[in-house]
Amino acid sequence: MTEQEISQLQTLFQQGSKKAAEAMSVWCGRAFRIHLDALRCVPLEEATQVLHAGDDPLCFCSVAAEGVISGQMVLAFDDVSGLKLAALLTDRAAEQIVAWDELSTAAMLETANILCCAYLNALFEALDAPGSAAGLMPSPPRFSREYAESAVEFLVMGQALEFDQVLIACTRFMIEDSFLNCSLLFVPDSQTMAALPGLLSAFTES
């Protein structure tokens, strides 16, 4: 992708960040801010280094989308940040939750659903062609806990079969004045990667 195309996509993600932060503020009942750190188009071997988790596994809540925009939108977070947010959402003290239970997992799945759909809708509204019947169909979110390298390699596998470059967007989250070590990754599939230049060109001209 060209620098101009990446810049255009970054603008759309910034719009998505605003909508996602507003939705999360309602969901949490507290001020929630989202900062877009980077939108990167990188080689596969660099994509596995985007998430810095050391030797510890990360948690992933992923939403698959099909339609005008197809691929994976993924909320990634470490145990400390995820359990801290889950405690707030379930009205429990953080020290009460020492491992992932059903209630904590459900809270983070709903969080991922809110965040991912806010971003996907922002992209869809901007890039959907008038009269298109493709629509946008997100799947229910799924929770997994694994090492970052394995997860990212799996997510970008569909791209790497046809493209040398992969597109990953990373964000940081703040709830009130507290930093949460969470990232939001968008990994378009190979079909969307191929279509993005034309979609962005039409968006610019509209």
Residue 154, domain CATH = 3.40.1550.10
Q: Which residue has the tokens 């960040």?
A: 17
Cβ-count burial of 167 within 10 angstroms (0-12 exposed, 13-18 middle, 19+ buried)? buried
- Do the domain assignments include residue 83? no
- Those residues with Cβ within 8 angstroms of residue 126's Cβ, 6 or more apart along the chain or in another chain: 12, 15, 203
Asked if 190 and 162 count as a contact pair (C-beta separation under 8 A), the reply is yes
Pairing type for strands 165-175 and 32-43 reads antiparallel
pTM comes to 0.84
In terms of residue numbers, what domain contains 200?
3-77+114-205
**Mean per-residue pLDDT over the chain, rounded:** 82
Q: What residues form DSSP beta bridges with 61?
A: 75, 143
Token pair, residue 109, equals: 């799945």
Residue 50 or 94, more confident: 94
User: Tens digit of pLDDT for each residue in 109-142?
Assistant: 999 999 988 888 888 888 875 555 567 888 999 9
Please report whether residue 166 resides in a domain.
Answer: yes
Is 84 part of a structural domain of the chain?
A: no
Q: At residue 136, what is the residue type?
A: L
SS3 2: coil
Number of domains in the chain: 1
